[in-house]
Structure 1
Protein backbone atom coordinates (compact mmCIF):
# COMPACT_ATOMS: atom_id res chain seq x y z
CA UNK A 1 0.00 0.00 0.00
CA UNK A 2 1.31 3.42 -0.87
CA UNK A 3 1.41 6.29 1.61
CA UNK A 4 -1.42 7.99 -0.29
CA UNK A 5 -3.61 4.87 -0.22
CA UNK A 6 -2.96 4.49 3.51
CA UNK A 7 -3.87 8.14 4.13
CA UNK A 8 -7.13 7.79 2.18
CA UNK A 9 -8.21 4.64 4.06
CA UNK A 10 -7.10 5.96 7.46
CA UNK A 11 -8.81 9.34 6.99
CA UNK A 12 -12.01 7.59 5.88
CA UNK A 13 -11.91 5.42 9.01
CA UNK A 14 -11.56 8.41 11.34
CA UNK A 15 -14.42 10.18 9.56
CA UNK A 16 -16.63 7.08 9.96
CA UNK A 17 -15.86 7.06 13.68
CA UNK A 18 -16.75 10.74 14.06
CA UNK A 19 -20.00 10.29 12.15
CA UNK A 20 -20.92 7.19 14.17
CA UNK A 21 -20.35 9.11 17.42
CA UNK A 22 -22.69 11.86 16.22
CA UNK A 23 -25.32 9.29 15.21
CA UNK A 24 -25.07 7.41 18.53
CA UNK A 25 -25.46 10.68 20.45
CA UNK A 26 -28.50 11.66 18.36
CA UNK A 27 -30.23 8.27 18.53
CA UNK A 28 -29.51 7.10 22.08
CA UNK A 29 -29.15 8.29 25.64
CA UNK A 30 -25.35 7.96 25.44
CA UNK A 31 -23.65 11.33 25.03
CA UNK A 32 -20.34 10.67 23.27
CA UNK A 33 -17.86 13.45 22.70
CA UNK A 34 -15.62 12.78 19.70
CA UNK A 35 -12.66 15.11 19.47
CA UNK A 36 -10.45 15.00 16.39
CA UNK A 37 -7.00 16.52 16.25
CA UNK A 38 -5.10 15.71 13.07
CA UNK A 39 -4.79 11.94 12.76
CA UNK A 40 -6.31 11.17 16.16
CA UNK A 41 -9.88 10.79 17.44
CA UNK A 42 -10.60 10.69 21.16
CA UNK A 43 -14.01 9.37 22.19
CA UNK A 44 -15.02 10.54 25.65
CA UNK A 45 -17.81 8.61 27.38
CA UNK A 46 -20.25 10.00 29.98
CA UNK A 47 -18.23 8.27 32.74
CA UNK A 48 -15.16 10.22 31.48
CA UNK A 49 -13.39 7.08 30.22
CA UNK A 50 -11.86 7.38 26.76
CA UNK A 51 -11.02 5.43 23.64
CA UNK A 52 -8.26 6.89 21.50
CA UNK A 53 -7.81 5.98 17.83
CA UNK A 54 -4.82 7.34 15.98
CA UNK A 55 -2.97 6.97 12.72
CA UNK A 56 0.53 5.57 12.67
CA UNK A 57 1.57 6.76 9.22
CA UNK A 58 5.12 5.32 9.11
CA UNK A 59 3.76 1.82 9.89
CA UNK A 60 0.56 2.18 7.84
CA UNK A 61 -1.41 1.20 10.95
CA UNK A 62 -4.29 2.43 13.06
CA UNK A 63 -3.85 2.16 16.82
CA UNK A 64 -6.73 1.86 19.25
CA UNK A 65 -6.33 2.38 23.00
CA UNK A 66 -9.20 1.43 25.34
CA UNK A 67 -9.57 0.27 28.91
CA UNK A 68 -9.11 -3.26 27.53
CA UNK A 69 -5.64 -2.40 26.19
CA UNK A 70 -3.87 -1.23 23.06
CA UNK A 71 -4.39 -2.73 19.60
CA UNK A 72 -2.80 -2.25 16.18
CA UNK A 73 -4.67 -2.63 12.88
CA UNK A 74 -3.58 -2.91 9.24
CA UNK A 75 -5.80 -2.52 6.20
CA UNK A 76 -6.13 -5.83 4.32
CA UNK A 77 -7.76 -4.39 1.21
CA UNK A 78 -11.28 -4.63 2.64
CA UNK A 79 -11.13 -3.91 6.37
CA UNK A 80 -8.80 -2.94 9.20
CA UNK A 81 -7.64 -6.15 10.90
CA UNK A 82 -5.84 -6.55 14.23
CA UNK A 83 -2.18 -7.37 13.62
CA UNK A 84 -2.33 -10.16 16.21
CA UNK A 85 -5.40 -11.81 14.69
CA UNK A 86 -7.92 -10.68 17.29
CA UNK A 87 -10.48 -9.32 14.83
CA UNK A 88 -11.77 -6.52 12.68
CA UNK A 89 -11.54 -2.90 13.84
CA UNK A 90 -15.25 -2.04 14.09
CA UNK A 91 -16.13 -5.31 15.83
CA UNK A 92 -13.50 -4.59 18.46
CA UNK A 93 -14.46 -0.91 18.75
CA UNK A 94 -18.10 -1.93 19.29
CA UNK A 95 -17.09 -4.35 22.05
CA UNK A 96 -14.82 -1.88 23.86
CA UNK A 97 -17.23 1.07 23.50
CA UNK A 98 -20.11 -1.06 24.80
CA UNK A 99 -18.01 -2.08 27.81
CA UNK A 100 -17.04 1.51 28.56
CA UNK A 101 -20.53 2.97 27.99
CA UNK A 102 -22.30 0.23 29.93
CA UNK A 103 -24.83 -0.28 27.13
CA UNK A 104 -24.72 -1.57 23.54
CA UNK A 105 -23.19 0.80 21.02
CA UNK A 106 -22.82 0.21 17.30
CA UNK A 107 -20.09 1.80 15.24
CA UNK A 108 -20.48 0.43 11.71
CA UNK A 109 -18.01 0.15 8.88
Structure 2
Protein backbone atom coordinates (compact mmCIF):
# COMPACT_ATOMS: atom_id res chain seq x y z
CA UNK A 1 0.00 0.00 0.00
CA UNK A 2 1.37 3.42 -0.83
CA UNK A 3 1.28 6.43 1.50
CA UNK A 4 -1.75 7.99 -0.18
CA UNK A 5 -3.78 4.78 0.17
CA UNK A 6 -2.71 4.37 3.80
CA UNK A 7 -3.65 7.95 4.66
CA UNK A 8 -7.09 7.62 3.04
CA UNK A 9 -7.74 4.32 4.81
CA UNK A 10 -6.55 5.66 8.17
CA UNK A 11 -8.68 8.80 7.81
CA UNK A 12 -11.77 6.70 7.05
CA UNK A 13 -10.98 4.53 10.08
CA UNK A 14 -10.71 7.54 12.39
CA UNK A 15 -14.09 8.75 11.11
CA UNK A 16 -15.53 5.28 11.74
CA UNK A 17 -14.14 5.27 15.31
CA UNK A 18 -15.53 8.76 16.01
CA UNK A 19 -18.97 7.77 14.71
CA UNK A 20 -18.98 4.58 16.78
CA UNK A 21 -17.93 6.49 19.92
CA UNK A 22 -20.71 9.01 19.34
CA UNK A 23 -23.33 6.28 18.89
CA UNK A 24 -22.09 4.27 21.89
CA UNK A 25 -23.58 6.64 24.46
CA UNK A 26 -20.59 5.99 26.75
CA UNK A 27 -19.63 8.64 29.31
CA UNK A 28 -16.50 9.89 27.58
CA UNK A 29 -15.18 12.77 25.52
CA UNK A 30 -13.13 12.43 22.38
CA UNK A 31 -11.44 14.71 19.89
CA UNK A 32 -8.91 14.69 17.12
CA UNK A 33 -6.06 16.63 18.73
CA UNK A 34 -4.08 16.59 15.48
CA UNK A 35 -4.64 15.14 12.03
CA UNK A 36 -3.26 11.80 13.21
CA UNK A 37 -4.16 11.57 16.93
CA UNK A 38 -7.56 10.79 18.46
CA UNK A 39 -7.77 11.31 22.20
CA UNK A 40 -10.53 9.54 24.15
CA UNK A 41 -11.02 10.79 27.71
CA UNK A 42 -12.94 8.63 30.16
CA UNK A 43 -15.06 10.04 33.00
CA UNK A 44 -12.28 9.24 35.51
CA UNK A 45 -9.85 11.43 33.54
CA UNK A 46 -7.87 8.53 32.07
CA UNK A 47 -7.18 8.59 28.34
CA UNK A 48 -6.98 6.24 25.41
CA UNK A 49 -4.88 7.50 22.52
CA UNK A 50 -5.42 6.25 18.95
CA UNK A 51 -2.86 7.44 16.45
CA UNK A 52 -1.75 6.87 12.91
CA UNK A 53 1.87 5.75 12.60
CA UNK A 54 2.83 6.69 9.05
CA UNK A 55 6.28 5.06 8.90
CA UNK A 56 4.93 1.64 9.92
CA UNK A 57 1.58 2.19 8.15
CA UNK A 58 -0.20 1.13 11.31
CA UNK A 59 -2.78 2.44 13.74
CA UNK A 60 -1.53 2.41 17.32
CA UNK A 61 -3.60 2.41 20.50
CA UNK A 62 -2.26 3.37 23.93
CA UNK A 63 -4.45 2.64 26.94
CA UNK A 64 -4.19 1.78 30.61
CA UNK A 65 -4.13 -1.90 29.57
CA UNK A 66 -1.14 -1.46 27.24
CA UNK A 67 -0.06 -0.51 23.76
CA UNK A 68 -1.41 -2.16 20.63
CA UNK A 69 -0.47 -1.97 16.93
CA UNK A 70 -2.83 -2.68 14.04
CA UNK A 71 -1.77 -3.34 10.44
CA UNK A 72 -4.11 -3.44 7.46
CA UNK A 73 -4.30 -7.04 6.23
CA UNK A 74 -6.24 -6.23 3.07
CA UNK A 75 -9.69 -6.35 4.67
CA UNK A 76 -9.34 -5.18 8.29
CA UNK A 77 -7.01 -3.62 10.86
CA UNK A 78 -5.43 -6.66 12.52
CA UNK A 79 -3.46 -6.62 15.80
CA UNK A 80 0.18 -7.37 14.99
CA UNK A 81 0.58 -9.67 18.02
CA UNK A 82 -2.90 -11.12 18.61
CA UNK A 83 -5.86 -12.20 16.54
CA UNK A 84 -8.02 -9.18 17.28
CA UNK A 85 -9.55 -6.62 14.92
CA UNK A 86 -9.24 -2.91 15.78
CA UNK A 87 -12.92 -2.04 16.42
CA UNK A 88 -13.45 -5.18 18.54
CA UNK A 89 -10.28 -4.37 20.48
CA UNK A 90 -11.34 -0.75 21.01
CA UNK A 91 -14.72 -1.96 22.29
CA UNK A 92 -12.92 -4.16 24.81
CA UNK A 93 -10.34 -1.50 25.76
CA UNK A 94 -12.90 1.29 26.21
CA UNK A 95 -15.18 -1.06 28.19
CA UNK A 96 -12.33 -2.06 30.50
CA UNK A 97 -11.17 1.50 31.05
CA UNK A 98 -14.63 3.03 31.58
CA UNK A 99 -16.12 0.16 33.56
CA UNK A 100 -19.19 0.11 31.32
CA UNK A 101 -20.07 -2.09 28.38
CA UNK A 102 -19.21 -0.19 25.20
CA UNK A 103 -19.69 -1.63 21.72
CA UNK A 104 -18.10 0.17 18.80
CA UNK A 105 -19.03 -2.53 16.28
TM-score interval (norm. to shorter): over 0.9
Normalized against structure 1, the TM-score is what?
Answer: 0.89
How far does the alpha carbon of each residue in 1:22-66 deviate from its partner, in whole angstroms, 9 at most, with x for none?
Answer: 1123xxxx3221110211101111111111000001110110001
Gaps of 5+ in 2: none
Whole-angstrom CA distance in 1 between matches of 2:74 and 2:28: 30
Task: Decide which of 64, 68, 78 is 2:65's aligned counterpart.
Answer: 68
Richer in helix (by share): 1
1:94 and 2:91 aligned:
yes
Q: Within 5 Å, give how 1:70-85 maps onto structure 2.
A: 70-85=67-82
| Moved beyond 2 Å, runs of 4+ | none
Deviation at 1:73, TM superposition (A): 0.7
Q: Mapping of 1:1-109 within 5 angstroms? A: 1-25=1-25, 30-36=26-32, 37-108=34-105
SS in 2 for 1:8: helix
Higher relative strand content = 2
Q: Secondary structure at the match of 2:74?
A: coil
Equivalent pairs, count = 104
